Amino acid sequence: MFRLITGIPGPSGFGSGSSGEQVTEGIDATALTVIITGGASGIGLETSRVLAQRNAHVIIGARNMEAANEAKQLILKDNNTAQIDILKLNLASLQSVKAFADHFISLNLPLNILINNAGIMFCPYQLSEDGIEMQFATNHLGHFYLTSLLLDKMKETAKSTSIEGRIVNLSSVAHIYTYYRGIRFNRINDKTSYSDKKAYGQSKLANILHANELAQRLQAEGANITVNSVHPGLIMTNLFKYSAISMRILKFFTCILWKNVPQGAATTCYVALHPKLKGVSGKYFVDCNEFKPSRLATDEALAKKLWDFSNKLIDAAQTT
């Protein structure tokens, strides 16, 4: 908490006051191709801008193509040599996720870094087009499926280039506030006991569990790919559209805990690019430093159960 408030750097040399540009200063990402989901707004846009500034080829996956094109033009306005492409992606639709992955693979591009950034927060109860609670479907299941579809491409790229691949899941400190026992496997769509806050926490817990389990699996097979999760910090973005008034009141009383957008993108940029993290996998980062998440987030049995549950949900959706 002291470091968060003061911005004093941690062991990495960076802290809560660091920006995405600062944590990637001097890094040349010319050889890298990056996919960023939700890269057209908020910290996703800032992450896209910084990585493009470091010469990475950035692919933005976005639901709103008009907004994504505006984001692309905004980046190009300040950096006319930036390599930015946009592809349609609705993470609440497994069909859209599959179409996005197929489209990307058809481009015959390498894939070095996947940043699972997009998400929704505190929305009223609703189901995705696949019949799954919306926050779980968007924040976790869509990214789980996307990652599995792109994993062979990442392995192929890492092997052919000898460059370590990296997967970054954006989680949140909110993962500590979830339902009893973490994931409601048998009641994932239960409307009667739905809590918008706990459903969000559940999806963010799932992001960490997914990263941890995938990290173990990739390490076991010797793949040159790391997987980590991050908490970007408290940032006022359009994620708060369902609770804008209450969040502004909260921000008024807790202003010293909040970050601006460049600071919010820092941990993602650090974990995605910094050479200090070569070979580091299955970890959780806050303010560009490794941090211990909740007990549930480090539960290996829970991670394995979530892995199997997620695959079953995808299989069931594809047979209906």
Residues with catalytic function: 194
Q: In angstroms, what CA-CA distances link 139 with 16, 69, 121, 162, 206?
A: 24, 23, 9, 31, 9
Give the residue among 208, 110, 211 at the shortest CA–CA distance from 156: 110
77's CB contacts (< 8 A; 6+ apart) are none
Quote the CA–CA distance of 171 and 168 in Å, as a whole number. 9
